[in-house]
Every structure is written in structure tokens, then in C-alpha cells.
Amino acid sequence: MTTETNSVLDTVKEAFAPVTEAFTKLQNLEVPEAAREFVKKQAETAKVRAADMHAGSEKVTAAIETAVAGSVSEAAKISRNIQQAFYQDAEAFFAGIDKLASAKSLSEAAQIQSDMVRARGEVFVSRAKATTEYLGKLVTEGAKNAQDNFAKVYSKTA
């Protein structure tokens, strides 16, 4: 059997000899200079693009960070203003109760009540106007900041 086995192995070796020889030559095959230069240039281009993409993503992150920080600051400011308004309203209400309690007649109480309602209406109109102006300013500044941030981000990539 060993003679037969050796014979079969020799036959297989002979059948694959051209493939083995081609593979051996392929391993020793020289890559042309132009092909190596092409691969080097493509690798360098990819490296530069990766660096540009990283820089662009850093700019986008910074723009988002700036926008979010500004939004948080404005939200805190709005919250403080609302708290202040609630406090002022409570003070005005209790001052009004105190005035009403000091009224000596029904007509005097009606006058005090009328003055309080008018004063509260004026405060409401004043707050509504200030809020409208403030929100308009926020929208304008937000749009300008967004435009500036996108300009910074896309100026280099364009």
C-alpha cells in the first residue's frame, strides 16, 4: 500500500506542480514602482481626509456645545425671571389684601379692588411686551449663532 500511496501523492504533486510553481513565482513577483506610488498617494489622501473629517467633527461638536451652553444659560435666566414674577405677584396680592382690609366703606373697597385690577393688568401687559421682545432677541441671536457656527464648520470643508 505504501507504494500505491506514494504513487498517488506523486501524481497529485505532478498535477499541481504548475500551480505550486506559479504561486512560488507570484511570491517573488516585484510590484512596479508606479503601483507602489499609487498606493502611497491614496493612503496619504485618505489620511488627510480622515484628519479633515476629524477636524470638522470637532467643529460641529464645539458648535453644538456652544449652542447648548447658551440654551442652558438662557433657560436658567428665564426660570429666575419666572420665579421673580411669581414672588412679585404674591407680594402685590398680599399688599392688596392689606389695603382691602383697611377699607372703611364698600365704595372704598371697590375703588381699591379696581386699582389693584388695573395695576395687575398694567403689569401683565408690561411682562407680555418684555417677554415678546426677549423671545424675539433670543430667536434672532440663536439664528445668528447657528448661522455663524455652521459657517465655521463648513467653511473649511467646502
Cell numbers for 25, please give them. 513565482
Compute the distance between CA of residue 151 and CA of residue 144 in angstroms, rounded to an integer: 10
Cell numbers for 61, please give them. 461638536
pTM of the model: 0.48
Q: What are the sequence ranges of the domains in the chain?
A: 32-102, 106-157
Low-confidence stretches of the chain (pLDDT < 70) are 1-6, 8, 23, 25-29, 31, 67-68, 70, 149, 152-158
Cell numbers for 82, please give them. 419666572
What does the pLDDT look like over 39-48, one tens digit per residue? Answer: 788 888 888 8
CA distances in angstroms from 111 to 92, 99, 151, listed in the order given: 16, 11, 60
